[in-house]
Amino acid sequence: MKKAVVLLALLALVGCDEDDVKDILKGQTKVFAVSGVQVENSSTGLPNGYYKLSDLNDGTKASLPDSLPDGIKADLTNAGITVHAQSCGQIVVDEGLCFESGDKACVPDEIKKVGLDVYKIDLDDIKTAQNANFYPTLAAELGGLFVQIDYDDVSCSTLN
């Protein structure tokens, strides 16, 4: 009975995503960082296309929010965080994408898709990962300004 109550509490916390529940039961969770963006009709003269963050021109980089989670795997390992798995994801930006509540830290309208590097880490390391510029997939865990952001799992080779 006690296990059933704990499982129901976990389902309430993370929704109905079975993989998230399995990860939490193992003491793990996922964090992500933006690896690239699909740009259309850029006001900074950047041709339409998908770009890794490092390949964006200065004007487009300046239009991205300062709090954009853009860490790399080495940032996690340098912070003493073990990465148990790595995958990729994407967010198709239909009606805006903000990384803070209150419509703050939003990507500009010219960004139509956001590519993500997703890392599975120990649940205890979630705040350390956030401090290393990663976004928690279970935003409710940290509270504060975080908003729940859903993304699609994709093959890393499709992010181009």
Q: Does the pLDDT at position 136 exceed 80?
A: yes
pTM (two decimals): 0.83
pLDDT mean over 4-28: 65
- Express each pLDDT in 28-51 by its tens digit: 999 999 999 999 998 888 899 999
Domain boundaries, the chain: 28-158
Please give the Cα distance from 62 to 56 (Å, whole number).
Answer: 10
Q: Convert the pLDDT of each residue in 114-127 to its tens digit.
A: 999 999 999 999 99
pLDDT at res. 159: 86
pLDDT of residue 139: 58
Average pLDDT over residues 87-99: 90
Q: Answer yes or no: are the C-beta atoms of 148 and 115 closer than 8 Å.
A: no
Average pLDDT over residues 45-60: 87
CA distances from 98 to 34, 85, 94, 121, 149 (A): 13, 26, 12, 23, 9
Q: Which residue has the higher pLDDT, 148 or 116?
A: 116
